[in-house]
């Protein structure tokens, strides 16, 4: 049995950032994740917006955290060496009802001191973003909105936590939790952990994990969402985040120019599905919305569609909950349940919040040696030619391009594997290889060979995203 001061359950954005912030204290931390990598759940599939903070009711934890998180975001990304694009956002309306919603949000924003907010006329909005529909009647411009790659951020946080002493246990699904005299005993499908305190960040399963030991007053009612990604070469891409507030009060729509240069469109909404499978209706919905909001966009430049799942928190009586839910069913046990938007924006804030509570309970002093800085994998793309030439001189692998769509070199792939990537998707998340227009048809086989060689396993043991997703031999068969 392994002993820790605190065990974090779940390696999504929240778990990774909780672990990072717990390392600011003198605490021996374990992060337990069921899957083969961190950030494969909700944190892998979302809208990637760093919100400015005008959406929530002033005075609530959500509103305050979002505004604070946004103000600190550039600094956070600099510490963690993660690209952040503060491209600004335009929330559009095409009618009087939605105009009123925008005015309300503008007022919210002013009272929360969201910087730089402006209400624009339709004409002004189109001046700022010529690709918009001519039907726009007003727009709320927020220059502080931005976008970040969510899994890149989560991976950076967990690497930083590990560098500061946190221990990461992948492929460990928590199956049981028991109360002991000293605290808690956590059983996974592989190991047993003893700890004084538990922080449950199990995402879509956070209610069930809490119910392994305590009742949960909050339940997650999942629903699905679909997204499309257009190639960076797509004509008439917007340069701001575009958010559409429909006149009928229905589901909004976002177009996000990602840090990779592609354009993310979505989401759709589907009821009651705990299923990361794309729906045809969802795709159609997103396409229709996109064609309406950004009429010049070439939807033929589609390179990928994917599904997400929203963990909607509900009370026993079925009513939905608007605020962040952080349950504390017993001393030394906290659960973050159903943290959806803006959980990405607030990941570090929520991590701090939880870490403060845990540190107070465990009476843990500050960790003077905590280093908030983490260095990312040095990317060839974006270097000046001089820098790139120097990189090749010091490591010839920087001269060898493996993924030609995204310009990713062998050196970056090898470094990702050294940092713990064991699957094709893990390499993809750490380097960006396979994310471009050919979707890996030219480089996946090279990544497979490199993974097999570096991990010292046969090629047919290499998986896309964990056991059961073997790439060769038709996958693993029962016979």
Partner 1 sequence: MKTELLIVGAGAAGIAAALSAWEAGCRDILLVDRREKPGGILPQCLHEGFGLATYGMELSGPEYTDRITERLAHTGVRLALGTEVLKVRGDRTAVLSDRGGLTELHFERLILAAGCRERSIGSLPVAGTRPAGIFTAGQAQEMMNLRGQDLGREVLILGSGDLGLIMARQFVLAGKHVIAVIEKESRCGGMARNVRRCIEPYRIPIRCRTTVSAIHGEGRICGVTLRHLDSGAEELLPCDTLVTALGLIPDRELVRGLGDPDWLFLAGNCHRVHDLADSAVAEAETVGTRVGGELAV
Ligand X SMILES: Cc1cc2nc3c(=O)[nH]c(=O)nc-3n(C[C@H](O)[C@H](O)[C@H](O)COP(=O)(O)OP(=O)(O)OC[C@H]3O[C@@H](n4cnc5c(N)ncnc54)[C@H](O)[C@@H]3O)c2cc1C
Contacting residues toward partner 1, per CB under 8 A: 228-229, 233, 276-280, 283-284, 287, 302-306, 385, 388-389, 392-393, 396-397, 399-401, 404, 407, 424, 437-442, 444-445, 449, 459-460, 463-477
Choose among ligand X, partner 1, none what residue 173 binds, the Cβ cut-off being 5 to 8 Å by kind.
ligand X
Choose among partner 1, ligand X, none what residue 54 binds, the Cβ cut-off being 5 to 8 Å by kind.
none
**226: which strand partners?**
307
Choose among partner 1, ligand X, none what residue 401 binds, the Cβ cut-off being 5 to 8 Å by kind.
partner 1
Q: Which single residue is written with the structure tokens 């209610």?
A: 207
Q: Minimum distance between the CB of residue 157 and ligand X, rounded to whole angstroms?
A: 11
Burial class of residue 287 in the structure, from the number of CB atoms within 10 Å of its CB (0-12 exposed, 13-18 middle, 19+ buried)? middle
Q: Minimum distance between the CB of residue 134 and ligand X, rounded to whole angstroms?
A: 27
Q: Is 20 left (phi over 0), alpha (psi -120 to 50) or beta?
A: alpha
Token pair for residue 333? 């046990």
**327: which strand partners?**
335
Number of residues that bind ligand X (CB under 6 A): 40
Token pair for residue 81? 């060496």
Nearest to 350 by CA among 338, 366, 367: 338
> Closest-CB residue for ligand X?
343
Q: Which of 43, 70, 243, 431 binds ligand X (CB under 6 A)?
A: 43
Draw the binding track, 249-278, toward ligand X (x: CB under 6 A; -: no contact): ------------------x-----------
Q: Does 47 bind ligand X (CB under 6 A)?
A: yes
Among the listed ranges 36-44, 156-164, 369-377, 455-463, the one in contact with ligand X (CB under 6 A) is 36-44
Compute the chain's Rg from CA coordinates.
Answer: 22
CA 467 to chain centre: 23
Q: Which of 24, 35, 62, 232 binds ligand X (CB under 6 A)?
A: 35
Nearest to 350 by CA among 84, 68, 57, 18: 18
> Strands, E, within 282-377: which ranges?
302-315, 325-330, 333-337
Instruction: Return the residues of window 303-332 that contact ligand X according to CB under 6 A.
Output: 308, 310
Q: Minimum distance between the CB of residue 48 and ligand X, rounded to whole angstroms?
A: 5
Choose among ligand X, partner 1, none what residue 306 binds, the Cβ cut-off being 5 to 8 Å by kind.
partner 1
Q: Minimum distance between the CB of residue 430 and ligand X, rounded to whole angstroms?
A: 16
Q: Does 85 bind ligand X (CB under 6 A)?
A: no
Nearest to 186 by CA among 34, 351, 26, 360: 34
Nearest to 281 by CA among 271, 292, 293, 291: 271
Q: Minimum distance between the CB of residue 96 and ligand X, rounded to whole angstroms?
A: 27
CB 8 within 8 A of CB 202: no
Main-chain dihedrals φ then ψ at residue 231, nearest 5 degrees: -60, 150
CB 6 within 8 A of CB 353: no
Instruction: Return the residues of window 221-250 that contact ligand X according to CB under 6 A.
Output: 225
CB 262 within 8 A of CB 231: yes
Choose among ligand X, partner 1, none what residue 251 binds, the Cβ cut-off being 5 to 8 Å by kind.
none
Residue 140 or 278 with smaller CB distance to partner 1: 278
Instruction: Return the residues of window 120-159 that contact ligand X according to CB under 6 A.
Output: none
Helix (H) or strand (E) holding 231: none
Q: Does 334 bind ligand X (CB under 6 A)?
A: no
Q: How far apart are CA 90 and CA 159, in angstroms?
A: 34
Q: How far apart are CA 383 and CA 396, in angstroms?
A: 16
Q: Does 48 bind ligand X (CB under 6 A)?
A: yes
Q: Which of 141, 205, 334, 398 binds ligand X (CB under 6 A)?
A: 205
- Write out the residues near ligand X by the rule CB under 6 A: 9-15, 32-35, 39-43, 46-49, 51, 173-174, 201-205, 209, 225, 267, 308, 310, 339-345
């Amino acid at each position: 049995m392994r002993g820790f001061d605190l065990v974090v359950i779940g390696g999504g954005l929240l778990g990774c950032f909780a672990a990072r912030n717990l390392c600011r204290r003198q605490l021996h931390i374990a992060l337990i994740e069921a899957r083969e990598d961190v950030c494969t759940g909700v944190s892998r599939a979302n809208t990637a917006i760093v919100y400015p903070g005008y959406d929530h009711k002033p005075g609530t934890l959500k509103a305050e955290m979002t505004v604070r998180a946004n103000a600190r975001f550039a600094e956070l990304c600099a510490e963690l060496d993660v690209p952040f694009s503060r491209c600004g956002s335009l929330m559009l309306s095409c009618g009087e009802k939605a105009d009123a919603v925008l005015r309300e949000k503008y007022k919210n924003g002013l009272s929360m001191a969201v910087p730089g907010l402006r209400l624009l006329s339709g004409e002004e909005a189109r001046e700022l973003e010529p690709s918009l529909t001519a039907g726009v009647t007003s727009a709320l411009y927020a220059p502080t909105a931005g976008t970040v790659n969510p899994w890149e951020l989560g991976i950076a946080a967990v690497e930083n936590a590990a560098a500061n002493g946190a221990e990461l246990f992948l492929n460990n699904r928590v199956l049981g939790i028991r109360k002991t005299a000293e605290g808690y005993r956590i059983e996974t499908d592989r190991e047993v952990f003893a700890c004084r305190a538990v922080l449950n960040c199990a995402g879509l399963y956070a209610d069930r994990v809490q119910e392994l030991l305590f009742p949960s007053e909050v339940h997650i009612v999942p629903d699905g969402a679909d997204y499309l990604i257009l190639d960076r070469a797509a004509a008439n891409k917007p340069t701001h985040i575009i958010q559409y507030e429909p006149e009928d009060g229905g589901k909004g729509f976002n177009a996000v120019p990602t840090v990779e240069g592609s354009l993310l469109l979505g989401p759709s909404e589907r009821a009651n599905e705990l299923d990361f499978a794309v729906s045809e209706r969802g795709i159609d919905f997103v396409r229709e919305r996109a064609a309406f909001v950004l009429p010049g966009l070439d939807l033929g430049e589609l390179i990928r569609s994917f599904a997400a799942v929203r963990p909607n928190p509900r009370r026993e009586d079925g009513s939905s909950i608007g605020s962040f839910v952080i349950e504390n069913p017993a001393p030394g046990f906290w659960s973050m349940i159903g943290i959806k938007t803006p959980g990405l924006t607030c990941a570090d804030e929520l991590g701090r919040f939880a870490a403060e509570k845990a540190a107070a309970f465990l009476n843990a002093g500050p960790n003077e040696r905590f280093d908030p800085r983490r260095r990312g994998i040095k990317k060839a793309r974006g270097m000046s030619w001089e820098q790139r030439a120097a990189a090749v001189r010091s490591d010839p692998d920087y001269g060898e391009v493996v993924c030609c769509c995204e310009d990713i070199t062998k050196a970056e792939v090898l470094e990702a594997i050294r940092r713990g990537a064991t699957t094709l998707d893990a390499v993809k998340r750490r380097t960006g290889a396979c994310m471009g227009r050919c979707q890996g048809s030219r480089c996946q086989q090279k990544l497979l060979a490199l993974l097999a060689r570096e991990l010292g396993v046969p090629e047919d043991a290499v998986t896309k995203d964990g056991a059961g997703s073997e790439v060769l031999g038709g996958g693993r068969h029962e016979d």
